[in-house]
């Protein structure tokens, strides 16, 4: 029986970090993909591995352009016969990276993103276990057709749902809307639920267009909104209150902005869909949709920003944007 062939791409992050120069304090990204793999001998029993290190960056410094390059490399790897891919990076932006790869890598072959909450030199470092679990998932036939996945702390999360929910715990990642789709137990990926594969967008179209993300707070009058187009933003995502609401006095400003650039309405809540037909008072979702905004569905503001940026590569019309978000309603 042919062994699975996997592509592992290391981008940096805590999983690759070791102490900085003597006396400097802290940890910095130093290890590459080959060193990570050498530290986990059990990987050789799972799959034939091709390892590359495109970047050595802490994850706050990763950009959508970096992830577009990663998506293209994965696409080339799949075209060359790889059965799956594992992307290793810092945890701060895993939920964004996983979702962007979910958008940009088509087909059924698994793309698994993983990292670590503890550095390579820390007692109880979780990087080796997370990497081994991610490789086992990427090599699993059952992982096909699920889109991009995030695997950490033995949990298997769908990219569209996963969120980082704690700053330090190894169990930091959760999918509060539906829970993990599976877990790695006794060295075997076990799937408890399956999610439908949603439409993908071409990686070759380039990076997402610039989109502002604005979280609404009590008492905010929306004065920032008028400045966004002049700052070069081609779209905006508003994280409204509750199910998608802003103060009544700010609603006209939202409408003015939606007449200039596409505006998507998400929620600042941790999870749950944006409403479309329940609240009719000024500033509520029915009013804002009538003023031209597009509801984000179940997507968080972070993920809605990426989808809007990718959709804007295809054109800036409201119908184009609304069509991109419709599968997430």
Active site residues: 14
Q: Which residues pair with 201 in a beta bridge?
A: none
59 is in an annotated binding site: yes
267 vs 265: CA distance, rounded Å: 7
Sheet holding 294-295, edge to edge: 211-215, 235-240, 263-267, 294-295
318 vs 274: CA distance, rounded Å: 18
278 is in an annotated binding site: no
189 close to 319: Cβ distance less than 8 angstroms = no
Token pair listed for 40: 């986990």
Q: State residue 32 phi and psi, 5-degree precision.
A: -100, 180
Residues 6+ apart with CB under 8 A from 288: 240, 244, 245, 246, 251, 254, 255, 265
CA-based Rg of the chain, rounded to a whole angstrom?
20
48 is in an annotated binding site: no
Annotated binding site for substrate: 59, 91-92
Annotated binding site: 59, 91-92
């Amino acid at each position: 029986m042919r062994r699975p062939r996997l592509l592992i791409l290391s981008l940096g992050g805590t999983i690759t970090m070791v102490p900085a120069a003597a006396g400097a304090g802290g940890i910095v990204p130093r290890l590459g993909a080959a060193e990570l793999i050498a530290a986990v001998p059990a990987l050789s029993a799972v799959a034939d591995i091709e390892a590359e290190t495109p970047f050595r960056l802490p994850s706050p410094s990763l950009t959508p352009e970096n992830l577009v390059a990663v998506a293209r490399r994965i696409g080339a790897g799949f075209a060359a016969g790889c059965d799956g891919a594992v992307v290793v990076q810092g945890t701060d932006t895993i939920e964004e990276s996983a979702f962007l790869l979910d958008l940009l890598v088509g087909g059924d072959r698994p793309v698994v993103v993983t990292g670590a909450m503890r550095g390579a030199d820390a007692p109880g470092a979780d990087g080796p276990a997370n990497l081994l679990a991610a490789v086992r998932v990427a090599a699993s036939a059952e992982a096909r057709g699920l889109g991009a996945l995030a695997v950490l702390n033995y949990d298997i999360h769908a990219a569209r749902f996963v969120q980082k929910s704690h700053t330090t715990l190894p169990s930091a990642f959760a999918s509060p809307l539906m829970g993990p789709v599976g877990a790695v137990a006794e060295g075997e990926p076990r799937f408890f639920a399956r999610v439908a594969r949603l439409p993908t967008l071409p990686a070759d179209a380039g990076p997402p267009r610039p989109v502002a993300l604005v979280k609404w707070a009590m008492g905010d009058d929306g004065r920032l909104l008028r400045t966004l187009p002049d700052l070069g933003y081609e779209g905006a995502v508003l994280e409204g209150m509750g199910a998608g609401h802003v103060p009544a006095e700010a609603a006209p400003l939202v409408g003015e902005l939606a007449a200039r650039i596409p505006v998507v309405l998400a929620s600042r809540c941790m999870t749950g869909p944006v409403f479309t037909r329940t609240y009719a008072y000024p500033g509520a979702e029915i009013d804002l949709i009538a003023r031209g905004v597009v509801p984000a569905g179940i997507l968080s503001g972070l993920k809605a920003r990426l989808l809007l940026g990718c959709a804007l590569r295809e054109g800036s019309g409201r119908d184009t944007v609304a069509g991109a978000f419709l599968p997430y309603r």
